[in-house]
Structure 1
Amino acid sequence: MLKTAQILRRFAFDEWGGTENSLWNSVFGLRSHNIDSQILSTTAMAPVEFEERGGIEIRRFPYYYPYWPLSEEDKHRLDRRGGNPVSLPLYRYLQSTDFDLLHVHSSGRIAGMVRAAAKQRKIPYIVSFHRGYLQTPEKERREMERPLRHTFSCGRFIELVYGWRRNFISDADGIVCVGEGEADFLRERWPNKRILRLPNGVDYERFATPVKTNVRKAFDIPPYRTLLLCVSRIDDQKNQKLLVRFVSTLTEEGENVHALLIGPPSTDYYLKELTELAKELQVDDRVTIVPGLGADDERLIAAYQDSDVFIMPSRDETFGIVVLEAWSAGLPVLASAVGGLKQLVRDGENGLLFEPDNLGSLLNAYRTLSRYGLKDKLAANARREAETRYSYNTMSSRLAEFYRESIEERNA
């Protein structure tokens, strides 16, 4: 049995996102291909250093950010998003533990230490890009770097001392990309590099199997309202403010709707602005914000199964794993025509697209959905596609083959 390490910046069940979701399910899928994995991360957002779930070992290591001065509040912001930590205990563990392959799901110093450890042990390493690292919008990048303003960094010195400054992309034995655009960019830049475009998968049975929990009762939402669901981190990039304005407009037109927004906030200020906007438009009683649900929380599945429409209003999106979850639950999807969503959602076939950050376009898509039979048609097509094309069994099989090819090539 092959032994791999799956390394990422953080892995917290209470701060669950697309990367964690994809990785967790892939690890279980790889087992059926005789590949065993440990999940390794820092203790960011999850102070428990060792735990085992479902037979999967999860090890977390102490870390720090090499910036001074850095407040606890800023450290917490970096933990949530964009942090570039140093973890010497993690590096030493990679150096001293026998693995057949290292697979890193983060960039920056984490990827640098994986590269260095793999070179020392003469084993292959794979780099995954889940969130558009190479094509992050400038506005989003500036927001991620906000906590580091007016600080002094000794990070480059540390990288030089430990040999982490080399290019972790060009030295990688293989690259895995969730988004098609990013894969094309990398193929053009490194034409001889082995690159696998592997979309996120979904645990179809988990979201398709009915649960007993009633999400309307759980969050005190009137049963007679049309429930609009958005599952995503609360963030300017995800653009939940558009949904608040959407609810306001529909309410003014006499429609009885309610928005349920589920996801951990990336920044406290955006959550505050979102809440204030709902109050300003007098729809705060029609907008329920749930700041994140644990990965095993049945209310998350119930939210998909009890809602009427799923709406993804992102300004930018590498893929959109939550769309697959909505499809699996039989929920029709309206998605912003950006990034990977444009490839995932085929307008009029498995969902409806609308122009990004355009309230009128979203309203048109919503009204189109009410045409006779269209809602059921879209949901049925999408559910079938989620089951047959995006199951974790399919994705894990392709990843396992990629691993073995990387090991064989390195040995050769």
Structure 2
Amino acid sequence: MPATILHVTSLFGGGVDRHLRDIARAVPGRHLVWHVGDKAEVIETPGQRFATMDPHRINENPKALAAALRAERVSIVHLHSSHPRPRARALEAAKALGVKRIVTLHDVLFLRPDAFDVEADAPPNAEWLAGTTAELRDAAAVLAPSEFMAAKARQHIPDLEVAVVPNGSAPPVDGKAEARAEFLAHRPRHVVAVLGAIGPHKGSELLEELPAHLEGTDIGVVVIGYLDRQLFPGWRVPGRLFVHGAYDDAQTGALLRAYGAQLVLFPNRVEESFSYALSDAWAAGLPVLAAPLGALAERVRHCACGWLLQPGFDAHEVATRLRHLFAHTGPSGLAEVESALSRPDPSRIPALDDMARSLDAFYRRFAIDPAAPEAADGEALQRLLAANLDGSIFRQELVRLADEYAQVKAALDGERARTETFERESREWMAKLERDIEGLKGELEGEVAQRRDLGQQIVQLQIHKDAFDLLPEFVRKLLLKKILDARN
């Protein structure tokens, strides 16, 4: 069995999960991924198998953990999270095996546990930073995906050495995807895309406000992904804000084309450490309008393939910028940036192979040559497995699914109520229409009878006139004079 790199991360890692899949696919060697949560832990051999671990058994039997990891021939530990439990597990594994740790800083959570919930310029939590600082200083190497992230770490942890290894992307696949039919039925002239799972730290509040500021324009926004308050596909605001729903990263370019996106918006409220979504947008040849924060701002300034919003931007400014960009035809218009994106620039979207070579160099430098596993080590892993898969193992996933179910149920209940209201109002309207028709029929029949009587009277008058015309002239004059005298 070849030597193994053990990656330790938190559950449901988003962009980190994509990063780990890329490493496992592109970096030579064998890889294990240890997903660590508060109540559930899973060791995964990417693309092959999962082993669900019992955290209590791991804590009670650390020798079994060491034996199990030796059986996997772990030669180095790579930590990908700032959360306390993954940090603790990475440290335990490294000490038990006598191997080194390297750490990648994927986000600003090393500064404070609530970094996604506060303003970007909020000061670090001193107690939290002291803990992460000690662990980072003890690591064999600290990596960051951008110069912004490396500078952030050096700023708050003086003299810390941080190497920049940008997140690489594989060449885009020319796949096929379809836009939702309900979007195409009311497609606006200009389409702005937002990529990913959009929560408060990525600007979901602003997206809720944006449609009102786009009224009177021909600009609509489509979230290729979902919002924290709408997971299911459909119009959030008819004609203005549409949610596509979950998607595969490999489909990003095809979906952007299917929806006719002309620009990708990044309304982030928290500093990004790199942004795969930005790479995906540029790989699709689309300009971006981005928050002036973190690696987003760093990369947009470097490549000049988009525009940055002003600090403290709000929905009104975003709408104003969008109106200007779609109306502008000068040197800074969309077409000029699209032209710049069509020209090759290796620094714009780092290559997966380059990332793999850099990481492989770190692994080769710091990994040990693990000894052959003991024959009994295979049984050690069995002693750590969860005895059963009760609800606590998948608590977060169950909560997420429950939230999705609640949203879908609420949408169905709302649709059912609207349908019942429409049906009731339709029945009332049809009954009124039938009454009106009956009334009109009665009026029409009366009108017809009246016209028939008038016709008969006209015939009689014509007969009388013909008889009057046959009288001698002096008699007619005499009769006419009597009629006039009678009227007077």
TM-score (norm 1): 0.70
The one-character-per-residue Cα deviations of 1:349-398 (angstroms, maximum 9, x if unpaired) are: 21111124323432343244333263133234345336765111122222
Partner in structure 1 of residue 52 of structure 2: 61
Compute the displacement of 1:328 (Å): 0.2
Q: 304, 314, 321: which one pairs with 1:358?
A: 314
Distance 1:232 1:165, change over 3 A: closer
The DSSP-based 3-state class of the residue aligned with 2:135 is coil
Partner in structure 2 of residue 369 of structure 1: 325
The one-character-per-residue Cα deviations of 1:3-58 (angstroms, maximum 9, x if unpaired) are: 212221125xxxx7211112211322213xxx3322232489999875652xxx45
Compute the displacement of 1:346 (Å): 1.7
In 1, distance between residues paired with 2:325 and 2:60?
Answer: 50
Write out aligned runs for 1:327-346 (5 A). 327-346=282-301
Partner in structure 2 of residue 200 of structure 1: 167
Partner in structure 1 of residue 87 of structure 2: 111
Partner in structure 2 of residue 259 of structure 1: 221
Q: Which runs of 5+ in 2 are unaligned?
A: 120-130, 369-488
Distance 1:45 1:217, change over 3 A: farther
Distance 1:86 1:202, change over 3 A: farther
In 2, distance between residues paired with 1:9 and 1:88?
Answer: 22
Conserved 8 A contact 1:245-1:359: yes
In 2, distance between residues paired with 1:94 and 1:358?
Answer: 50
Conserved 8 A contact 1:354-1:362: yes
Partner in structure 1 of residue 377 of structure 2: none
Partner in structure 1 of residue 97 of structure 2: 121
Partner in structure 2 of residue 148 of structure 1: none
Distance 1:202 1:88, change over 3 A: farther
Compute the displacement of 1:329 (Å): 0.8
In 2, distance between residues paired with 1:344 and 1:236?
Answer: 22
Distance 1:386 1:233, change over 3 A: farther
Conserved 8 A contact 1:227-1:258: yes
Q: 9, 33, 37: which one pairs with 1:39?
A: 33
Q: 6, 23, 27: which one pairs with 1:26?
A: 23
The one-character-per-residue Cα deviations of 1:140-185 (angstroms, maximum 9, x if unpaired) are: 3589xxxxxxxxxxxxxxxxxxxx9994322211111224344224
In 1, distance between residues paired with 2:113 and 2:313?
Answer: 15
In 2, distance between residues paired with 1:166 and 1:241?
Answer: 33
Compute the displacement of 1:406 (Å): 2.7
Q: 303, 312, 317: which one pairs with 2:255?
A: 303
Compute the displacement of 1:131 (Å): 1.7
Indicate whether 1:292 and 2:249 are aligned. Answer: no
Write out aligned runs for 1:185-196 (5 A). 185-188=152-155, 193-196=160-163
Indicate whether 1:395 and 2:355 are aligned. Answer: yes
Distance 1:225 1:188, change over 3 A: closer
Backbone CA RMSD of aligned residues:
4.0
Indicate whether 1:271 and 2:271 are aligned. Answer: no
In 2, distance between residues paired with 1:139 and 1:174?
Answer: 23
Query: Which amino acid in structure 2 is aligned with residue 100 of structure 1?
Result: S
Query: Which amino acid in structure 1 is aligned with residue 17 of structure 2?
Result: E
Partner in structure 2 of residue 320 of structure 1: 275
Query: Which amino acid in structure 2 is aligned with residue 308 of structure 1?
Result: Q
The one-character-per-residue Cα deviations of 1:193-248 (angstroms, maximum 9, x if unpaired) are: 54212232222323xx2x33222448655345422111132211111232343333
Compute the displacement of 1:399 (Å): 1.7
In 2, distance between residues paired with 1:137 and 1:165?
Answer: 11
Query: Which amino acid in structure 1 is aligned with residue 150 of structure 2?
Result: A
In 1, distance between residues paired with 2:106 and 2:185?
Answer: 34
The one-character-per-residue Cα deviations of 1:71-114 (angstroms, maximum 9, x if unpaired) are: xxxxxxxxxxxxxx989899554465311211111131212221
The DSSP-based 3-state class of the residue aligned with 2:268 is coil
Count of matched residue pairs = 344
TM-score (norm 2): 0.60
Report percent identity of matched pairs: 21
The DSSP-based 3-state class of the residue aligned with 1:21 is helix
Conserved 8 A contact 2:253-2:283: no
Distance 1:226 1:388, change over 3 A: closer
In 2, distance between residues paired with 1:36 and 1:176?
Answer: 20
Q: Which runs of 5+ in 1 are unaligned?
A: 66-84, 144-163
- Greater fraction helix: 2
In 2, distance between residues paired with 1:337 and 1:180?
Answer: 15
In 1, distance between residues paired with 2:22 and 2:357?
Answer: 12
